[in-house]
Amino acid sequence: MNLDMSFFESIARSLEDVARWIDSATKGEPAKEAPEPTNYANFPLAYENALKKYKIDADLYTSIYPSPFHATDATILQMQTPDVAMDEITVKFQRSVYVSKNADLVASQKLYQRAKEVHLSNTAEYTRHLARLDGLDPKQKSAARARAWKFIEQANLKLASMDTLVRDFEIMMRPKGDAVQKILEKLGAHYETVEECGQSAMLLLVQEIQSLEAFMGSMSGVFLHVFSFMSAAEVSQCRLVSGTWNDAITTKRVLSFAIQSPVERCRMWQHAIQRHRSHDGAGMNVNYDYAALVSAAYSDTSNRHHLIIDADVRRTTFIRRENLYPSRSTGQPPSSRTTKHRRIAASSAEDATTLADLHAKLSRILHAYCQLDPSVGYCHGMTFLAAGILSCLGYNEAATFDVLVAAMLDYDMAEMFRLPELPGTKRRMHQLDKLVRIHLPTMGKCLLQHKIHPQMYSSGWVMSLFLNESQLSPATTCVLLDEFILGGWPAMFRIYLGLLSVHASHVVTPHFNRSLQALVLLPKQLESSLMAVLEEGSISFTHATSSDALEMLAAHYDPTTSFMDYF
pLDDT at 157: 86
| pLDDT-wise least confident of 221-225, 499-503, 518-522, 539-543 | 221-225
Q: Give the count of domains, the chain.
A: 6
Q: Is residue 268 part of a domain?
A: no
- Among 458, 461, 434, 435, smallest CA distance to 540 is for 435
**Separation in Å, CA 118 to CA 113, 123, 128, 197:** 9, 9, 15, 11
Q: Are residues 87 and 164 in the same domain?
A: no
Q: What dihedral angle (degrees, nearest 10) is formed by the CA atoms of 356, 361, 362, 365?
A: 160
Q: Are residues 14 and 93 in the same domain?
A: no
pLDDT in tens, 376-386: 989 988 999 99
pLDDT at 217: 43
Q: Are residues 361 and 229 in the same domain?
A: no
Tally of CB atoms within 10 A around 388: 24
Contact 256, 479 (CB under 8 A): yes
pLDDT in tens, 241-292: 877 777 777 877 888 888 888 999 999 999 999 998 887 665 556 788 999 9
Q: What dihedral angle (degrees, nearest 10) is formed by the CA atoms of 471, 474, 476, 478?
A: 140
Q: Is residue 503 part of a domain?
A: yes
Q: Are residues 280 and 367 in the same domain?
A: yes
Please report which confidence band the pLDDT of residue 12 belongs to, taking 50, 70 and 90 as the band edges: low
Q: Is residue 53 part of a domain?
A: yes
pLDDT at 46: 53
CA dist., res. 430 & res. 522, Å (int): 19
* Range(s) of the domain holding residue 230: 223-258
Q: Is the pLDDT of residue 68 over 60?
A: no
Q: Is residue 444 part of a domain?
A: yes
CATH number at residue 323: 1.10.8.270
Q: Are residues 366 and 427 in the same domain?
A: no
Contact 382, 366 (CB under 8 A): yes
Q: Is residue 218 part of a domain?
A: no
Q: Is residue 166 part of a domain?
A: yes
pLDDT in tens, 339-392: 444 566 655 667 788 888 999 999 999 999 999 999 998 998 899 999 999 999
Q: Are residues 530 and 447 in the same domain?
A: yes
Please report which confidence band the pLDDT of residue 43 belongs to, taking 50, 70 and 90 as the band edges: very low
pTM for the predicted model, two decimal places: 0.69
CATH number at residue 164: 1.20.140
- Among 286, 337, 288, 277, smallest CA distance to 485 is for 277
**Separation in Å, CA 455 to CA 24, 42, 228, 433:** 114, 105, 39, 10
* Average pLDDT over every residue of 537-543: 89
Tally of CB atoms within 10 A around 245: 20
Q: Are residues 481 and 439 in the same domain?
A: yes
Q: Is residue 269 part of a domain?
A: no
Q: Are residues 79 and 108 in the same domain?
A: no
* Average pLDDT over every residue of 78-95: 56
| Longest CA pairwise span in the chain (Å) | 156
pLDDT at 140: 64
CA dist., res. 522 & res. 460, Å (int): 11
Contact 310, 363 (CB under 8 A): yes
* Average pLDDT over every residue of 310-319: 90
pLDDT at 367: 94
Q: Are residues 435 and 537 in the same domain?
A: yes
* Average pLDDT over every residue of 165-170: 83
Q: Is the pLDDT of residue 330 over 60?
A: no
pLDDT at 94: 54
Q: Are residues 333 and 409 in the same domain?
A: yes
Contact 444, 436 (CB under 8 A): yes
Phi, psi of 343 (to 5 degrees): -95, 155
DSSP H/E element including 202: helix 177-213
DSSP H/E element including 429: helix 423-439
Q: What is the mean pLDDT of the chain?
A: 79
Q: Are residues 108 and 82 in the same domain?
A: no
Please identify, among 385, 417, 449, the residue that sits at the C-terminal boundary of a domain.
417
Q: Are residues 429 and 399 in the same domain?
A: no
Q: Is residue 266 part of a domain?
A: no
